[in-house]
Structure 1
Amino acid sequence: MRQLRDLQIPLYQTQKIRLWRALQQLQELACKVTSSASVTIADTIPVNHEDGVLKGHGTSELDGEVVATLCGIVERVNKLVYVRALRARYKPEVGDVIVGRVTEVAPKRWRLEINFSQDAVLMLSSMNLPDGIQRQRTAVDELTMPSIFEENDVVCAEVHGFQHDGSLHLQARSQKYGKLERGQLLMVPPYLVKRRKQHFLSLVNRHKWYFHYLEKISIDLILGCNGFIWVGEHVEARDNMVEDQETKPEQQNSKLSGISMRLEEQERTYTPLETRQSICRIANAVRVLSSLGLGLNVEVIMETVELSISLNLDINEMLGAEFCVQTAEREVERRSLLSKKKG
């Protein structure tokens, strides 16, 4: 199978057999659920020629049979049959939550790498300023742009739309968007991240393994539709108007308030060791699932983390061959149980 050939982890012969068997079972289960099949180049696509099938992208006719001309998933829309490529670049849609890296600070805009055919544009007018006041942007705001985002900063934003010149424009008009710090940026194939209602996930006491392992740890997980995934320390998004009212000091306590604010800033710049270990463990779970070509969602990621904890594995041991095979076998069990419940 393609996932087995692309896997960069060295495997013993028995591990190869176990992994091949698990991936084969996963493909069979997927075909039962979606009635779609994965194909490689020159594979025959079964069709009903009596219906006047239309050959779409990724297909061709050879000796009276419809064959695939690229690797991907067979899709059918009425009489049209085509192959959706798995290794293609990200195709943006309006409203997509994406994570990107700043490549340039240009006049009145930032350019971001988002795994698209060209860099996306985030206009200064399309984001909230640090003061939170809704107003027209001035020349002073443009001069302070590098203090908001600078090159190589990781930023979360939303796809706003395409312009006439073909450029992709982003927006960050909510408190949940903006600069991401104290975490890891992971890059996976975009097809592994399905579009969902919720792409911002705060892992705060929502999984049972927190109660015996990470009782006081909170992590933010952002699944970007473009295949960029952020795992970092949890940050509370607050309304600026509420924050201004709460922190507005009285005249006689202004000095004391300033000192306490400086102390809070020092505390916020430090990420505890336990939190960093949790970030690395979750990030390694994403890496393992991505190497196996498995779809990414919070349930699968956290079950992989819990599996590593139940096996008493160190964080670095999660990237070993045996845990990779065990993850695939665990996914087979999970999907088999789901199919039995639905049946």
Structure 2
Amino acid sequence: MSGHVSIRLASERVNHCVASNNELPQFYTPGEVITGTQDFMRGHGTYVEDDSLKASVAGVMQKVNKLICIRPLKSRYVGEIGDVVVGRVLEVQQKRWKVETNSRLDSILQLSSVNLPGGELRRRSAEDEQMMRKHLQEGDLISAEVQSVFSDGSLSLHTRSLKYGKLSQGVLIKVFPSLIKRRKNHFHNLACGVSVIIGNNGYIWISPQKQDIMVDDNREDIQNYEMQNA
């Protein structure tokens, strides 16, 4: 017996109701009709055809009042002020570093936006500019915070906190930025002795925790050894 198989194109699937903010986000494919009504405004990732609002990319719908957008699952990072990012230094320029942060344009780290060795707070001089490559050079990985967003969408970073700065002795993992949610804390110390920095730009840094404090047992052993050999 041969059965009949019915195939429906994405453009033929119509969602007559649009999910509200309290409901789980719905996934849409390119060409799929989001809504057949005219009560909504067209946002990013959508287009109007045959009096219907359709998705132009594969992603999840976001609705703000009457504005409907489709956020693609695979896209470049779009930064916001206060985001924690992990980036790689591409070039040392005059009074600034160019940093790759998985965004559409390269980010900028100004010389005035970093902590000098020793945490000294003063105006940057010509000597500091000459020593820039000793502080950060091409290929170095850093953690930073988005300080501002320029009109063209590029990001201005800063590392004026002890938790930010140059990264070493670890592994960099890259994921899609859409998989990272914005949280109050993106720095985590796991019980297994591993530190994790989850960048909003999809770059995740995994490194061993810094052993600043000795274990009590080890401290007692050292003290006993010193007393025996005194």
Q: What's the TM-score, normalizing by structure 1?
A: 0.52
Partners in 2 of 1:164 and 1:76 — Cα distance?
A: 25
Residue in structure 2 matched with residue 274 of structure 1 by the alignment: none
Map 1:50-69 → 2, pairs under 5 A: 52-69=39-56
Instruction: Name the CA distance, whole Å, in 2 between partners of 1:167 and 1:189.
Output: 19
1:12-64 CA distance string (max 9 Å, x none)? xxxxxxxxxxxxxxxxxxx99743201111122245x2x72223332234444
CA distance in 1, matches of 2:211, 2:108: 26
Tell whether the 8 Å contact from 2:40 to 2:66 is kept in structure 1 after alignment. yes
Residue of structure 2 equivalent to 1:176: 163
| Higher helix proportion | 1
Name the CA shift for 1:121/1:219 in 2 (closer, same or farther; >3 Å): same
Equivalent residue runs for 1:279-298 within 5 Å: none
Instruction: Write out the 4+ residue segments of structure 1 that deviate beyond 4 Å after TM superposition.
Output: 163-167
Separation in 2 of the partners of 1:195 and 1:91? 12
Name the CA distance, whole Å, in 2 between partners of 1:180 and 1:71. Answer: 35
Amino acid aligned to 2:204: I
Instruction: Quote the Cα distance in structure 2 between the aligned partners of 1:83 and 1:62.
Output: 16
The match for 2:69 among 82, 95, 100 is 82
Matched, 1:42 2:17: no
- Decide whether aligned partners of structure 1 residues 135 and 102 sit closer, same or farther in structure 2, where only a CA change above 3 A counts: same
1:221 matched to which residue of 2?
A: 196
Q: Equivalent residue for 2:123? A: 136
Question: Which structure dedicates a bigger proportion of its chain to strand?
Answer: 2
- Go from structure 1 to structure 2 and tell me whether the alpha carbon gap of 1:40 and 1:164 turns closer, same or farther (over 3 Å shift): closer
Counterpart-to-counterpart distance in 1, 2:211 and 2:64: 44
Q: What residue in structure 2 maps to residue 23 of structure 1?
A: none
- 1:231 lines up with 2:206 in the alignment: yes
1:116 aligns with 2:91: no
What amino acid does structure 2 have at the position aligned with 1:80? Answer: L
Looking at structure 2, the residues matched to 90 and 64 of structure 1 have their Cα atoms a distance apart, in angstroms, of 32
Larger CA Rg, structure 1 vs 2: 2
CA contact (8 A) 2:21 2:63 kept: no
Structure 1 partner of 2:148: 161
**Cα separation, 2, equivalents of 1:135 and 1:222:** 29
Over the aligned positions, Cα root-mean-square deviation in angstroms equals 2.3
Q: CA deviation at 1:236?
A: 6.7
2:80–2:149: 8 Å Cα contact kept in structure 1?
no
SS state of the match for residue 122, structure 1?
Answer: strand
Seen in structure 2, the aligned counterparts of structure 1 residues 128 and 188 have a Cα distance that, compared at 3 Å, is same
Contiguous gaps of at least 5 residues in structure 2: 1-19, 213-230
**Aligned partner of 1:148: which letter?**
H
CA contact (8 A) 2:79 2:149 kept: no
**Rounded Cα–Cα distance in structure 2 between residues aligned with 1:71 and 1:167:** 25
Q: What secondary structure sits across from 1:45 in the alignment?
A: strand
Distance 2:44 2:110 in 1: 35
Alignment of 1:145-160 (within 5 A): 145-160=132-147
Does residue 197 in structure 1 map to residue 172 in structure 2? no
